[in-house]
Amino acid sequence: MTAAAQPGAERSGDPYLPEHGNGGYRTSHYDLDLDYRIVTNRLTGRAVVTAVAAQALSRFSLDLAGLRVSHVLVDGVAARFTQVGHKLRVRPARPVDEGAEFRVEVRYGGRPRPVRGRWGDIGWDELTDGVLVASQPVGAPSWFPCNDHPADKASYRIAVTAPTPYTVVATGKLADRRRSASTTAWVYELPEPTPAYLVSVQIGRYERVNLYSGGPAQRAAVPARLRQRFAHDFGRQGEMMEAMQRFFGPYPFAEYSVVVTDDDLEDPIEAQSMSVFGANHVDGRRTHERLVAHELAHQWFGNSLTVADWRHIWLNEGFATYAEWLWSGVSGGPPVDALARMWHARLAARPADLRIADPGVARMFDERLYKRGALTLHVLRREVGDERFFRILRGWVAEHRHGTVTTPAFTALAERLAGRSLASLFRAWLYSAPLPGLPG
């Protein structure tokens, strides 16, 4: 029995979500061809997954939930397979050698539905008239077979055929659009390494508009009834992009897309090169502009720089929250110091039982992690000064562009660029539960 034939091959080793993701290989490319019927919520799919074996494989698994597989090919040869829970178990006709590249073709279909878990329903979800895909952290298997772990990043081609009255927006750049009598095929290409949870498809009766005439290209898909309010609420998108690039360095993708659904959403959603907002986030008064800044910042922190495992999620959410504060400070809102004092006072009134460098699976999305992560960055800024602080942020982004990151990697880089030890600061703010005081 090879190591990959052991039960551990169906586990990623992630300390929080070990049952999601798979061992024995790493993916490099996904080619997805999807046909979706909105009225019947029927999805037919063909996925070709290119991967490299990390060890000899007599069998391996992919994550796929709620959709039925009709056949599987490995390097063009029919393979035996079974589906158990959210695992597609594949036994190729010939074992795959260690270090070999191999291709897995999966034909599948059914009525997609979100994956249910501790964070609610996540993944492919029906709207009143269309589709929303929000996969963080474990929803990607609701619509395509994948290695569902944040550290497994690959390029994508995504082709979606849908009824012609509907607009399809997927992660990546629109490469082709082909219209037939009643349907339109939309083809998107995403060359940058991307984890499965950040791949998304949005389908609705949207109008496509340009957000900004400068670079990088910024586009939006918006219901017609919200066009006027959207134009005001996102009217500073160009300025916001320019500010983020000053803070963090060049935008890491070819373009940026915003989708506003015709339904209300509890929270906005980030995907690779895309952010999705609900109709309730567009009110014509820029009430939710901080969320616009937060989701844009995720293109650097979370998307280009992806956590190696879910313990390090403050590197996504703390940084994006601090980006909200930075945007507020340069756009006429409350200054960063005032926001830091306000949130420090609020956190001081709440239980001090969270270590943000390892919050535990139940607290991955705890608001305190977001705010204390931002406070950690603000304290670091106070400690090293503005010039070194922004050199640290830009260095962090540049050195790990399109890679995976950990908390120790960040603290090591910060100390290297600061030119001295910051161990006591990081020990108090990241690894200890009691809330330290704000300096100064």
How does DSSP assign 353-402, residue by residue?
---TTS--GGGTT-HHHHHHHHHHHHHHHHHH-HHHHHHHHHHHHHHTTT
**Cα gap 236→241, rounded to integer Å:** 9
Residue 134 belongs to what H/E stretch? strand 130-134
Residue pointed to by tokens 């999805």: 43
Phi, psi (deg, nearest 5) at residue 111: -100, 105
**Cα gap 118→309, rounded to integer Å:** 18
In a domain, 437, yes or no: no
194 and 210 share one domain: no
- pLDDT, tens digit (0-9, with 9 covering 90-100), for 271-320: 999 999 999 999 999 999 999 999 999 999 999 999 999 999 999 999 99
Looking at the predicted structure, is the pLDDT value of residue 1 above 70?
Answer: no
- pLDDT, tens digit (0-9, with 9 covering 90-100), for 402-420: 999 999 999 999 999 999 9
Q: Are 347 and 372 in contact (CB under 8 A)?
A: yes
Looking at the predicted structure, is the pLDDT value of residue 8 above 60?
Answer: no
Task: Report residue 300 as tokens.
Answer: 């650097």
The upper half-sphere exposure of residue 273, i.e. CA atoms within 13 Å in the direction of its Cβ, equals 27
| Whole-prediction pTM | 0.96
CATH number at 342 reads 1.10.390.10
Looking at the predicted structure, is the pLDDT value of residue 28 above 70?
Answer: yes
213 and 152 share one domain: no
Domain of 264, in residue numbers:
206-299
- pLDDT, tens digit (0-9, with 9 covering 90-100), for 65-119: 999 999 999 999 999 999 999 999 999 999 999 999 999 999 999 999 999 988 8
Could you say which of 202, 234, 261 is where a domain stops? 202
Q: Are 337 and 434 in contact (CB under 8 A)?
A: no
Task: Report residue 114 as tokens.
Answer: 């979100």
pLDDT higher at 4 or 146: 146
Is the CA virtual torsion 214, 276, 209, 188 positive or negative?
positive
- pLDDT, tens digit (0-9, with 9 covering 90-100), for 330-364: 999 999 999 999 999 999 999 999 999 999 999 99
Could you say which of 299, 320, 353 is where a domain stops? 299
Residue pointed to by tokens 């490099």: 28
